Amino acid sequence: MSTIADRLIEDEGLKRGLARLTPEKIEKTFKALIAGECGARLKTYLETCVHCGMCAKACHYYMSHKDPSYAPVAKVSQTMVKLMAAGGRVEPRLIQECAQIAYTECNLCRRCIHYCPLGIDTGYIMSVVRRLCHKLGVTPQYIQDTSHSHSATMNQMWVKDDEWPDTLQWQEEEARDEFPGLRIPLDVEGVDFMYSVIAPEPKFRTQLIYQAAAIFHAAGVSWTMPATPGWDNSNMAMFSGDAEICARVERAHYEAAQRLRVKRIVMGECGHAFRAVYDVANRWLGWKWHPVPVVHSIEFFWELMKQGRIKLTHKFAEPVTIHDPCNTIRGRGLMDKLREVVHFLCDEVVEMYPNREHNYCCCAGGGVINCGPPFKNVRIAGNSIKAEQLKATGVKVVVAPCHNCHGGLDDIISKYELGMHTKFLGDLIYELMEKPEA
């Protein structure tokens, strides 16, 4: 069995933060965190855990390495248990170990909850460890930079204020060759929904905005996108442990929807962004619930399908399999609606095993992929079990309605030479739907 000390990786952000720490500072920060933010939940989890190890087989890191030090209970024992036992008075070296475990060896996928006989949420405990590391200034450089980018420019990719509407206009003009009457409505008040995307879409994947506009146009729905900051629904601060920035950027997102007086927010195909808007940021703002109803695109496409607004020219003939993203499946329970949509679109669906809420994580979510190149090999080696799961289906197409999942799965597919490729639901709907104006 290895230990975290055997596999420490140098990261500039961690290194710089550790240089400023003393045992006294760690103790003071830890005690303030436990007293001010954690309440009974953390104490209950730590006191009820019997260290049975039944959570081990829930973790893709453990299943890939077969090393007990990667088991969820071991991660807790190497981090929060040590901190609590010492009352927070520990050497900076332990904080380095805590940071690497919490940020890069746990995706917060929460699969382990389903295997724990006591329902302990190890993901929550690791989130508290991340929160401590953030408050101590010990955060991987790449995810910290992304979080700060979002705080500074209100989007994580430094898309300038004029570039955002320019990109939407460009996609609208491109789409008019295919759909002469198509528009991407900007700042239209009182419509049914505001469509919300993550910053990598205008930066790198503009075709997804094109496809969404085409689908909404063909479905005849009433929608808009905000022209001002607040359009980026992603939130790396949620994963870095920076609750203050997490709440601040989502408040801008909520307020964009409120300003436009829309009936609800429809989120693009991103799991972590959905979790931030739907489940996390409102609570850091001190609100019981989000101020505007929020649905993920899985659920929205399901609604369009049920209403007969999506009409197909044919079904996708090649066999596909379904990847269940953690934040929309374990976090929101959309597994059946996802399957109804995929079966509506595709002739043959081959399920992975296990699937639904028991499916293995892509190993990119939870901010792990955003910790950057220093830790890329960690997550790829830590998810060989997912490669085995994918390979066993025998198909070449993976339907994955989540951006982070695409990143993680594409890396695994490449590394293990699986010869597969990933598709969003929007990719399939756009490819298969009737295009009456074409």
Residues 323 and 299 in one domain: no
Whether residue 298 lies inside any domain: the answer is yes
Confidence band of 3 (pLDDT split at 50, 70, 90): confident
Residues 163 and 284 in one domain: yes
Nearest to 31 by CA among 81, 71, 76, 88: 88
Residues 285 and 392 in one domain: no
What does the pLDDT average to over 47-70? 96
Residues 388 and 409 in one domain: yes
Whether residue 438 lies inside any domain: the answer is no
d(CA 271, CA 331): 9
Q: Which of 241, 273, 304 is the last residue of a domain?
A: 304
Q: Which of 139, 156, 191 is the last residue of a domain?
A: 139
Say what angle helices 384-393 and 403-415 make with each other, to 10 degrees: 90
Question: Total domain count for the chain?
Answer: 3
Q: Which of 304, 337, 364 is the last residue of a domain?
A: 304
Q: Does residue 438 carry a pLDDT above 70?
A: no
Whether residue 53 lies inside any domain: the answer is yes
Residues 39 and 113 in one domain: yes
Nearest to 239 by CA among 331, 355, 114, 133: 133
- The answer to whether residues 352 and 81 touch, using CB atoms and an 8 Å cutoff, is no
Q: Does residue 144 carry a pLDDT above 80?
A: yes
Whether residue 38 lies inside any domain: the answer is yes
Whether residue 261 lies inside any domain: the answer is yes
d(CA 63, CA 103): 19
* pLDDT value at residue 206: 95
What does the pLDDT average to over 101-111? 97
- Token pair recorded at residue 70: 């990667």
Residues 133 and 154 in one domain: no
Whether residue 120 lies inside any domain: the answer is yes
What does the pLDDT average to over 28-38? 97
Whether residue 234 lies inside any domain: the answer is yes
Whether residue 437 lies inside any domain: the answer is no
* pLDDT value at residue 322: 98
Q: Tell me, what CATH number does 125's domain have?
A: 1.10.1060
Contacts of 115 (CB under 8 A, 6+ apart): 54, 55, 57, 58
Q: Does residue 234 carry a pLDDT above 90?
A: yes
Residues 75 and 180 in one domain: no
Say what angle helices 206-219 and 163-176 make with each other, to 10 degrees: 60
Q: Which structural domain range is residue 186 located in?
A: 144-304
- Token pair recorded at residue 162: 């004029």
Q: Per residue in 391-410, pLDDT tens?
A: 999 999 999 999 999 999 99
Q: Does residue 379 carry a pLDDT above 70?
A: yes
Residues 171 and 278 in one domain: yes
What does the pLDDT average to over 212-234? 96
| Residue 169 neighbours by CB distance under 10 Å | 12
What does the pLDDT average to over 27-47? 96
DSSP 385: H
Residues 271 and 125 in one domain: no
Give yes or no for a cis peptide into 354 (omega within 30° of 0): yes
* pLDDT value at residue 5: 86
d(CA 303, CA 297): 9
d(CA 236, CA 143): 7
Residue position matching structure tokens 């003071």: 28
Residues 125 and 103 in one domain: yes
Residue position matching structure tokens 């989007």: 155
Q: Tell me, what CATH number does 339's domain have?
A: 3.40.50
Residues 291 and 222 in one domain: yes
* pLDDT value at residue 437: 65
- The answer to whether residues 74 and 92 touch, using CB atoms and an 8 Å cutoff, is no
Residues 317 and 416 in one domain: yes
Q: Per residue in 185-197, pLDDT tens?
A: 999 999 999 999 9
Q: Does residue 307 carry a pLDDT above 60?
A: yes
